[in-house]
Amino acid sequence: MITIRILGLDPGLALMGWGVIDMTGTRLTHVAHGVIATRAAEGLGVRLMCLHRELEGVIAELRPVAIAVEQAFVHKDPSAALKLGHARAVALLAAAQAGLEIAEYTPNHIKKCIVGSGHAGKEQVQAMVRRLLPQSRVDQADAADALAAAIAHAHLSSTRARIAAALA
């Protein structure tokens, strides 16, 4: 059976959560997770460069073939939405440079896949990620959200593959 390695990302300028899982058939295995942090005291360019460099390192070390990125949730604060957009752009750039298959999902879609409710709270997402990947022992909300994006992509991509096989 083929194993597919998926990197999930929860983009943010201050904190970018990442999580990597392996999917073999329908079995999911935790590989690694973490959070890339930048300091607000640094300029925007330096912070984006830090995110890019760290993300390149994760991709080079763990060698995923696909990436699932959480789409931006537009807040009422345009400045925060713009900063989030910059972080997402860095994530998409790093993934494209590495030649990864890129998938984007709304936060509600990821929550629905993981918890069953599109309006689930962060605590519920974290609890379900711990249940689905007990070996992860994830305790950072941003890393749990990233793992949730990877899990959602694994579920959705395997469903698409089964449908394509049935239609063939």
CA distances from 97 to 52, 93, 100, 162 (A): 11, 6, 8, 29
70 as an active site residue: the answer is yes
Taking the C-alpha atoms of residue 143 and residue 138, their distance in angstroms, rounded to an integer, is 7
142 as an active site residue: the answer is yes
Q: Which of 42, 56, 70, 145 is catalytic?
A: 70
Handedness of CA 42, 45, 63, 134 (dihedral sign): positive
Residue type, 76: K
- What phi and psi, each to the nearest 5 degrees, are found at residue 59? -65, -45
The residues annotated with a catalytic role in the active site are: 10, 70, 142
